[in-house]
Structure 1
Amino acid sequence: MAIEDRSVISITPEAVEAILGIRAQEPDAEELALTVSITGVKGLLFTYELTFIPVVDAAATDVLQRFDDLPVVVRADSVARLEGATIRAGEGTLGIDNPNSPSPKIAAGTAELTGPLADKIATILETQINPAIAGHGGFAELVAVEGDTVYLRLGGGCVGCGLAQVTLGQGIEVAIRTAVPEVGAIIDVTDHASGTNPYYEAAKK
């Protein structure tokens, strides 16, 4: 039996109505649940799959939620990445607003930050940021500090990575600004065109 005491996603009333209308066209509709899962990454966003399965086929590790007459199964391997997401109805379609991104998460650190701004940034890179992005084969290094402007270079798997700007904007930059609020602009000076082994390769045009 799937886990039922946890709330992972939300669905707008309009989306529930639309999904129930689609389900009504299926055989044994009353026995079906909507399943939601993440299937991969495209560009800077997750890709999703929404299908119907019999409620009884939900795995024990899946999360089962109920929205009026609509049971929804969130697949176990997608739960963490769908936390806080909302399914909404658009113009003849369904959309998912997901606060999560494929960018690696950078945890808050406890290292003491003292000295000049450059020393503080170097400490954040060493103790928080590089351990987090090392799993993607990448690292970040401080190039220079001019006034309150910080110049960074990404290396390893981050060079040429299609998600580098997500990692910088939602991971590295947030971590730096949280720990060192006096920082001004944060500028990426990486030559991403030189990347030979990016963790996630940008789509070729």
Structure 2
Amino acid sequence: MSQVSPLAGSSPVVSASPASADTIITITPVAHAKLIELRDAESERERLGLRLEILSGPGEDFRYDLVFDEFVKAAFTDEVRTINGLKIIIGAKDLDLLRGAELDHDDAKGLLIRNPNKPLKASFEGLVADDEVSAQIEAIVFNDVNPALSAHGGFVTFA
């Protein structure tokens, strides 16, 4: 049985077991209603849960995949939680990256995720980034280049 605070502006994804009752992602009431509507349009709706997955790799902006999947076939390591009759499935690799995020719905934009977390940094084999020159270049990129590019949705890393 899921637990939902009637005072919350959005519903936390919680589990029935006290050991894992921490919130991973919140789902606004508008998004919840839309997801129920979409799930109920499926032929096997009673077997389906919303699988939420991050597709992007380290160093890339988050790209998400939201798909209805059979929750009984979820991997042992997947987190499966229920909120107001809707199962949410999140893979173990994405739990920390989705913690604190919010799933919302907008009539113009559709389903959207507001995530306060940042993607993992890309790692490059053989990259030496702990010398003085690397530190100076990183400071220039961080302080001068990226602020200008972030206004347009971009960023720069160096290798």
The two structures share one fold, judged by TM-score above 0.5: yes
| Equivalent residue, structure 2, for 1:64 | 80
Which of 80, 92, 103 pairs up with 2:96? 80
Structure 1 position 152, deviation (Å): 3.8
> For 1:105-157, what per-residue CA distance to the aligned partner results, in whole angstroms no more than 9, with x for missing partners?
xxxxxxxxxxxxxxxxxxxxxxxxxxxx8x443637668xxxxxxx94229xx
| Paired letter, 2:114 | D
Within 5 Å, give how 1:78-157 maps onto structure 2.
78-92=94-108, 93-104=110-121, 135-136=123-124, 137=127, 139=129, 152-154=136-138
Structure 1 stretches of 4+ with a deviation exceeding 4 A read 41-44, 140-143
What residue ranges of structure 1 are gaps of 5+ in the alignment?
105-132, 144-150, 169-186, 191-196, 200-205
User: Any idea what SS the aligned residue of 1:40 has?
Assistant: coil
Q: Which moved more, 1:42-51 or 1:53-62?
A: 42-51
After superposition, the CA RMSD in angstroms is 3.5
Distance 2:101 2:128 in 1: 28
- In 1, the alpha carbon distance for the partners of 2:119 and 2:88 equals 23
**Number of equivalenced pairs:** 127
- For 1:78, the aligned partner's letter is D
Which residue number in structure 2 is paired with residue 47 of structure 1? 63
- Given the alignment, which residue of 15, 18, 32 partners 1:16? 32
Of structures 1 and 2, the one with the larger relative CO (CA 8 A, separation 6+) is: 2
Q: Which has the higher strand share?
A: 1
The two structures have a TM-score, normalised by structure 2, of 0.65
- Identity of counterpart residues, as a percentage? 28
Which amino acid letter does the alignment assign opposite residue 85 of structure 2?
D
Q: Identify if the C-alpha distance between structure 1 residues 79 and 138 changes in structure 2 by more than 3 Å, giving closer, same or farther.
A: farther
Shift of 1:45: 2.1
Q: Which has the larger radius of gyration?
A: 1
TM-score computed with the length of structure 1 as normaliser: 0.52
